[in-house]
A = this chain, B = another copy of it.
Amino acid sequence: METLEVGLSQRSYPIYIGERLLENDILLNREISARQVLIITNEVVAPLYLELLTKALGKRDQHSLILSDGEQHKTLSCFSSIIDKLIDHEFHRDSCVVALGGGVIGDIAGFAAACYQRGIDYVQIPTTLLAQVDSSVGGKTAINHAHLKNMVGAFHQPISVFTDISVLKTLIPRQYSAGIAEIIKYGLVLDESFLEWLEEHLEALLALDAQTLAFAIRRSCELKAAIVSEDERDLGQRALLNFGHTFGHALESLGQLDQWLHGEAVSIGMSIAARTSCALGFISDADCERVDSLLLRANLPVAFQDLDPDKLLEFMQLDKKAGTEGLKLILLKQIGEGIITAAPNDSILKSVIGAKTII
């Protein structure tokens, strides 16, 4: 097992990465001292892992809430049902919420923990690769509103994160690849040598080789933790982690329900961002092809169809990354180094997006 610290003074917390952590009663009981625990999970994860976790958490006032699966349930009404549950079982301030699931579960359970009685502890047990390398680390919690992603949320750090790589065996390949998109992101914006390592080890990663996987997750979390420590509230450099996300969010919001997994939308978004970087003279055509090639090898999409580029552009103006000063984008200054910049003029964006549209 590997341990990593997210350094945030009083709000610092450990990330444990290893096999069969879900069943590790000694570790779990050492880290979670609350006598009242509510496990939030979903209908897909519950039959696989809820019983194991419940057993490991041992004798305490344990409850669980099984939500429907999918982004479309990350709503205020679902949030409300979690609060109802906490109230029904008379949860106090010193109780703990446990998020057992992917990003949707982590986001909504984290937001409920952030708000219940103005904030109680929560723990992340991410069960998708994407959540393990991204959403479970850094304390961003949220729900969607009016079909807009993450419009309502809070910064609320977990007290610990348990990243059990064994659970990835039950993940469908498409979701696994979506997680790899975020791993590639870290290489692209922060660390070219990590990107090179990924290019070399992609097959082993796709084959779920335990050692390769543990390193890829550890390095991703390390890169993310370093940025979060410096910019918890996303006012500066943390925006780099949104590489591919401004385009990605727009695709997710405008696409058909569940058309794209988050990581897939981010993959297309990264490819668009790379092309935009190229159009502005930052990186070369060959660099763009290098980006696309790695994404495609990871079975990720790099283009989209059935969507009006103008609509996509219009939508992006309301993205959280847009201030009244106008839209900002995360681009590549070079491979391994992202930059935060004002969006180029619409005609450049339109032409890049247009070229990414499969007719």
Q: In the bound complex, how far is the Cα of B318 from the Cα of A153, in angstroms? A: 25
The number of chain A residues touching the other chain, given as a range, is 35 or more
Q: A94-B325, A152-B115, A153-B115 known; A87 and B320 CB under 8 Å? A: no
A118 contact set on B, CB distance < 8 A: 140, 142, 150, 153-155, 233-234, 320
Task: Name A60's closest neighbour in chain B (CB-CB).
Answer: B324
Chain B positions within 8 Å of A115 at CB level: 115, 152-154
| Residue of B whose beta carbon sits closest to that of A114 | B154
B-contacting residues, A57-112, CB 8 Å: 76, 80, 83-84, 87, 90, 92-95
A116 CA to B152 CA, complexed, in Å: 5
Contact indicator per residue, chain A 193-237, by CB within 8 Å of chain B (1) or not (0): 000000000000000000000000000000000000000011000
A88 to B317: give the CA distance in the assembly, Å: 13
Assembly CA distance A44 to B224 (angstroms): 48
**Which of B36, B150, B324 is close to A95, meaning CB atoms less than 8 Å apart?**
B324
Task: Check if B87 sits within 8 Å of A148, measured CB to CB.
Answer: yes
Per-position 1/0 for A319-348, Cβ under 8 A of B: 010111100000000000000000000000
Question: Of B95, B119, B325, which is within 8 A of A154 by CB?
Answer: B119
Query: Which A217-274 residues sit within 8 Å CB-CB of chain B?
Result: 233-234
Measured CA separation A324–B96 after assembly (Å) = 11
What B residues does A83 contact at CB under 8 A?
Answer: 145-146, 151-152
Residue A35 CB within 8 A of the other chain? yes
- Shortest Cβ distance from residue A159 to the other chain B in the assembled complex, whole angstroms: 14
How many copies of this chain does one complex carry? 2
Residues A76 and B80 in contact, CB atoms below 8 Å apart = yes
Q: Per a CB cutoff under 8 Å, which of B95, B234, B318 touches A90?
A: B318
A12 at the binding interface (Cβ < 8 Å): no
Interface flag for A3 (CB, 8 Å): no
Q: Once the chains bind, are A119 and B233 in contact (CB under 8 Å)?
A: yes
Distance in angstroms between the alpha carbons of A146 and B83 in the assembled complex: 9
- What's the Cα separation between A146 and B148 when bound, in Å? 26
B residues in contact with A146, CB < 8 Å: 83-84, 87
Q: Which interface residue of A35, A87, A115, A233 has the most chain B CB atoms within 10 A? A: A115
Min C-beta distance of A344 to chain B, whole Å: 19
Question: Once the chains are docked, how many angstroms separate the CA of A114 from the CA of B324?
Answer: 19
Bound together, the chains give a CA A90 to CA B327 distance in angstroms of 13
Q: Mark A290-325, 1 if CB is under 8 A from B, else 0.
A: 000000000000000000000000000110101111
A-B contact pairs, 12 of them (CB 8 A): A36-B324, A83-B152, A84-B145, A84-B146, A92-B324, A115-B154, A116-B152, A117-B151, A117-B153, A118-B154, A119-B233, A154-B154
